[in-house]
Structure 1
Amino acid sequence: MTAPTTTARPGARARRAGLLALAALLATADLGLKAWAEQALPGSPIEGGPLGLELAFNSGVAFSFAADAPAWTVVAATGLITLTVAAALWRTAPGASRLWGGALAAVLGGAAANLIDRAPDGRVTDYLHTGWWPTFNLADVFIVCGGLLIVALSWRTDRQAAT
């Protein structure tokens, strides 16, 4: 018995490559800003009105959750989540809408950037500071915005299917 074959839609390879390139571009942008922040911001935050720049480090995940957990467990968990998002992007890219693919690419780019940043020392570099919200980074923005878009698109799809 032979393994079942899947027929890729025309352009599936280019679609996947484009979304992975978008995720890599977003991750690179955040990692570049993190490197800059580590050089430019120690001891000298930059006030910018509602959003300033201030160097901080987070050994946990969102809102410092699990900050006391061993670094290897946080790295392993975020690595598994990142791989899951990459697999979802790979699997759905050929037939997904541009918004859905872009949302997954944003989540993947943010997750990959934070994983790459966390791997060497168990902590993530944060640099965006509001004064009323925990300090965060651009990767966090990509993850949250991509996740919200996925929820919105899922809700819209569910509502359309019900009618």
Structure 2
Amino acid sequence: MSSVGAGRRRGLLLTAAGFAGVDLAAKALAETRLGDASVDLGVLQLRLLFNDGVAFGLGDALPSWVVVAFTAAVTVAMIVYGWRHAPGAGWVQRLAGGAVIGGAAANVIDRLPDGVVTDYLHTGWWPTFNLADTFPVVGLLIFTLTTFRDQRPAKPSAPEPGADSGKAADEPRLLNPW
């Protein structure tokens, strides 16, 4: 493996650790400062809740070990995917991948001690969530947009004036759009 590939992989994991650290710190702050209080920030309120399900409380009737095992397996799959693709990915895609992995890992780490995830961001029209929930959504959106952008066909370039194409002047030229 090249040193560039190894560096990109390390960068992906460090980025993921950074996202996870930000979320876990925010959760610890929410737990120590909010309690039963609610802080109104306009369109968003800070309100402490504990989610024993997966996304939006789904699976809350399942045993906590099942939820932990499932979310851990999905997180490991994302890490493996990121590890394999980081050497060929651009910095924006690695940043997006770090957000996805970091958010997923933070929720698994938060869930391990007691089977629940700390949620603290409330809108009134959406289930209460945390930063770790937003990181994969934003990361996947950025990853998807950059993937489609990178797969667009390149525009054909016009020949330079006076360049000889090796064809007779009356022979038709075919432009390859791909």
Relative to the length of structure 1, the TM-score reads 0.89
Alpha-carbon offset, residue 158 of structure 1: 4.6
Report what 1:142 is aligned to: 135
100, 112, 116: which one aligns with 1:119: 112
Query: How many equivalent residue pairs?
Result: 156
Paired position in structure 1 for 2:39 = 46
Cα shift at 1:150: 2.2
Q: Which runs of 5+ in 2 are unaligned?
A: 155-176
Which residue, out of 8, 13, 17, partners 2:10?
A: 17
Counterpart selection for 2:91 from 91, 98, 101: 98
Quote the RMSD (CA, aligned, Å). Answer: 1.6
Give the corresponding residue for 1:73: 66
User: Structure 2 CA distance, aligned partners of 1:155 and 1:90?
Assistant: 21
> What are the ranges of 5 or more consecutive residues in structure 1 without an aligned counterpart?
1-7
Give the share of equivalent positions with the same residue, in percent: 49
Segments of 4+ in structure 1 off by > 6 A? none
Matched to 1:119, the amino acid is L
Instruction: Tell me the SS of whatever aligns to 2:83.
Output: helix
In the TM superposition, what whole-angstrom CA distance separates every residue of 1:17-51 from its partner, at most 9, and x where no partner exists?
11111110110110011011111111111110011
TM-score (norm 2): 0.82
**CA shift for structure 1 position 154:** 3.2
Larger Cα-atom Rg:
2
Separation (CA, whole Å) in 1 of partners of 2:76 and 2:128: 26
Structure 2 CA distance, aligned partners of 1:120 and 1:129? 24
Distance 1:160 1:35 in 2: 47
